[in-house]
Structure 1
Amino acid sequence: MFKKVTIQADQRGLLFHKGSYVKKLNPGTYHYLLWAQTTVVVMNIAKPFVIEGKDLQLFLQDEDLVRELDIVRVQDHEYVLHYEDSQFVQLLKPGVYAYWSILKKHTFLHTDIRQPELPAEVDRSILPKLTAHVQPYEIASYESGFLFYDHVLQRELSPGKYYFWRGPVSVMVKTIDLRQQQMDLIGQEIMTEDKVTLRLNFVCQYKIVQPLRALEMKSFDEQIHIQLQLMLREYVGTLKLDDLLKRKEDVASFILSRLREKGEEFGVQFLGAGVKDVILPGEMKDILNTVLLAEKKAQANLITRREETASTRSLLNTAKLMDENQTLFRLKELEFLEKICEKIGSISLTGGGDLLERLSSLIGEKKAAGK
């Protein structure tokens, strides 16, 4: 005849009559007639307050029930972080939520996603649980960053890691590299004053010192590249080929000085520049090689003539000294004999007389035979 309903200490009951909510039931035992159109929904108070098929607003009219609930309303422009006993549980999207406040303490952190940057109150340790709702950006130690909301510049970002809500506002971060950089101009075809077309390989080093100025320029690297091209054509076009080959360092100095004049316009500090290679057409190479070969031959002939002159002068001086000094003459003869003895195994002499005179006589005879 009666239907018995028991509600435990960690439960609450919701009494319905003919499908309409009547009241909340506290722990205890209840009896209802079987034919009465009465139902009881038993709820675990450790879980969120959710009734399938029923709108939460139907229950919020019961003040007794509301006293045991924590209710949070999330606006369309909000994300709410839900904590139970100071432990993060979940992120709540727009809507109305209710939780039993009997066993656990519920707290809620409201964040306005119209301001995309995560507030400081959000503990970074929970971010791995929010990857679907948060987008990170990292600025390296050698970079400067610029923050844009809906393509409108907000501020400059220093090195570090930043987090933003994925929401109605589009977030973009652009970075500028502040390290020293190098730009190479490879194979630039330029005509000299004497109508020789050559190719130059040029290099310059620079670093960005005003990152916002560089960011405001479209195709920043390309604009510097074009400036280098124009400056090279301007200077090389005033030089003849021979002058260019002799004054490669002057080209670098001129270009560097002109670049530094443009430094503030680009927000850049130009540190150095130089000509790496001058590449000539094949016919011009052959001509220059021929000229160089002729010059080297002329230099070699000049050196040979100088050596011959020096050698003749040395012989003349030696002859004068020997003519004036008999002792020196005799020493020279002995030196000459020593050289002969080095190349001859044995010498046989017959007859009397002084050895030196006989050797000298022998040498004289050999010379006469040679003639």
Structure 2
Amino acid sequence: MFTKITIQTDERGLLFHKGSYVRMLLPGTYRFAPWSQHSVTALKVTKPFAVEGKELALFLHDETLTRQLDVVRVADHEVVLHYEDGQFEQLLKPGVYAFWNVLKRHAFVRADIRDPELPAEVDRALLTKLTTHVQSYEIESFEAGFLFYNHVLQRQLAPGKYYFWRGPTAILVKTVDLRQQQMDLLGQEMMTEDKVTLRLNFVCQYKIVRPDRALELKAFDEQIHIQLQLALREYVGSLKLDDLLRRKQEAASFALSRLREKSEEFGVSFLGAGVKDIILPGDMKEILNTVLLAEKKAQANLITRREETASTRSLLNTAKLMDENETLFRLKELEFLEKICEKIGSVSLTGGGDLLERLQMLIGEKKPAGRGRA
């Protein structure tokens, strides 16, 4: 009795004799004698060509078979994007692959991962399916980026998003912030020319204009910080405390001029600076407060003496005018009368004597002439 084997339309058969491949069988029915030691493996043409336990190379000498296969060899430094009928199917790693071409149309896009950046022909819409094979870096609009392969600088990157294959090349992207930045110098102890130790709070604004220099300098921010410290120490150390307190706003101009001398070296534009606080030791504060209080008291005493002198001088001038002018003397009498009338409803005067003398007696001045009754 013969063994009957049927190969379906969507199948191809592989005929083996004693385990060795003989040829490909097209769709149809085949009969084999039991003693012939033939066997047939049926493969679906909708799936990749693969025979369990057999290497692909064992079949590639059959030209009839290979005409119905798309064979792809992927080198160690490559990856291949596999498309079926225009749709992405999978990413092929290094190896040899075969796909039936009788029902489906296959296309392949190769990428050399020794050049890690994704080529333009790779559709960015596929990246969600390639997350395990691709890494990305993003450069913000206010940043400058620098691309390194195996720690070697390749080029500067403009703002945008960049994709790279994960492979033998180590990828690194460093960014530099190009926005205006501020550096605070807080609680820096410094000594004036007259050996007074104080603490200074200072602020400086700057902007990086050559980002490559920021990468070339180790501890970039720290170096600017040190330059600012040195400039302030130079300024504070050249002045006595009183001069420093009087000219503290000039410290900003001095420090800024010193920093701008280093602008080219650092690749930085220094925009502004200013003194926030000068903090004195506790005992020095007490001394200055005592001096200030004494100065204010002296000023107050001086003003008081000036007013008393002016008042005395005014009285003296008035007395001289009254001696020289009888009319003015009479007006003074009326002035006394006005003062009395402001406080007393009615006034009766009896006795002799001058009117002025009697009025003076009414307001309390002791004069021997006249007698008054109110």
TM-score scaled to structure 2, two decimals?
Answer: 0.89
Deviation (angstroms), 1:169? 0.7
Secondary structure at the residue paired with 2:232?
helix
1:365 and 2:368 equivalent? no
**Corresponding position: 1:99 with 2:87:** no
For residues 302 and 57 of structure 1, what CA distance do their matches in structure 2 show?
Answer: 114
Q: 1: distance between equivalents of 2:334 and 2:61?
A: 140
Please report how far the alpha carbon of residue 351 of structure 1 lies from its aligned counterpart in structure 2 after TM superposition. Answer: 8.6
Q: 1:139 to 1:192 in 2, by over 3 A?
A: same
Give the Å deviation of 1:138.
Answer: 0.7
Residue 262 of structure 1 corresponds to which residue in structure 2?
A: 262
Q: Which residue of 1 aligns with 2:343?
A: 340
Gap change, CA 1:119 and 1:324, over 3 Å in 2: farther
Give the distance between the partners of 2:242 and 2:103, measured in 1 at CA.
94
Partners of 2:364 and 2:234 in 1: how far apart? Answer: 75
What's the offset of the Cα at 1:36? 2.8
- What pairs up with 1:1-371 in 2 under 5 angstroms? 1-313=1-313, 320=321, 324-325=327-328, 329=332, 332-333=335-336, 336-337=339-340, 339-340=342-343, 347=345, 364-368=361-365
Structure 1 stretches of at least 4 aligned residues deviating more than 6 Å after TM superposition: 350-353
CA contact (8 A) 1:13 1:42 kept: yes
Distance 1:351 1:240 in 2: 75
1:351/1:98 CA distance change after superposition, 3 Å: same
Partner of 2:372: none
The percentage of counterpart residues that share the same residue type is 69
Taking a change above 3 Å as real, the CA distance of residues 370 and 296 of structure 1, as seen in their structure-2 partners, is farther
Alignment gaps of 5+ in structure 1: 342-346
Deviation at 1:46, TM superposition (A): 0.9
Displacement, 1:323? 6.5
Residues 241-275 of structure 1 deviation map (CA, whole Å, 9 limit, x = unaligned): 11111111111111101110110001111111111
Q: CA deviation at 1:211?
A: 0.5
Question: What is the CA-CA distance between 1:370 and the residue it aligns to?
Answer: 12
Q: Give 1:367's aligned amino acid.
A: G
In 2, distance between residues paired with 1:366 and 1:228? Answer: 76
CA displacement at 1:14 relative to structure 2:
1.2
Question: Alpha carbon RMSD of aligned pairs, Å?
Answer: 2.6
- Residue 290 of structure 1 and its aligned partner are, at CA, apart by 0.7
Alpha-carbon spacing, 1:250–1:350, altered in 2? closer, same or farther (3 Å) = closer
**Which amino acid in the other structure matches residue 224 of structure 1?**
I
Partner SS, residue 126 of structure 2: helix
Question: What is the aligned length?
Answer: 362
Aligned in 2, Cα 1:32/1:274: closer, same or farther, shift over 3 Å?
A: same
Moved more, 3-12 or 247-256: 3-12
Determine the C-alpha separation between the residues in 1 that align with 2:59 and 2:79.
24
Give the alignment's TM-score, normalised by structure 1: 0.90
CA 1:24–1:227 in structure 2 vs 1: closer, same or farther (change >3 Å)? same
Q: Taking structure 1 as reference, are residues 349 and 334 closer, same or farther at Cα in structure 2, changes over 3 Å only?
A: closer
1:365 partner amino acid:
L
Deviations 1:24-66 (A, max 9, x none): 1111122222333222111111111111110001111111111
Aligned 8 A contact 2:143 2:176 in 1: yes
Moved more, 271-280 or 324-333: 324-333
1:363–1:340 distance in 2 versus 1, CA, 3 Å: farther
Contact 1:136-1:162 at 8 Å conserved across structures? yes
Distance 1:311 1:329 in 2: 18
* Structure 2 CA distance for partners of 1:155 and 1:289, relative to 1, 3 Å: same
Instruction: Name the CA shift for 1:331/1:102 in 2 (closer, same or farther; >3 Å).
Output: farther
Stretches of structure 2 that go unaligned for 5 or more consecutive residues are 369-374
Q: Deviations over 1:158-183 (max 9, x none)?
A: 11111111111111011111111111
- Give the conservation status (yes or no) of the 8 Å contact 2:192–2:238: yes
Structure 1 residues 3 and 235, CA gap change in structure 2 (3 angstroms): same
Whether the aligned pair in 1 keeps the contact of 2:69 and 2:99 (CA below 8 Å) is yes
Q: Deviations over 1:60-98 (max 9, x none)?
A: 111111111111110000011111112111111100001
How big is the shift at 1:316?
Answer: 5.7
Structure 2 counterpart of 1:300, which letter?
A
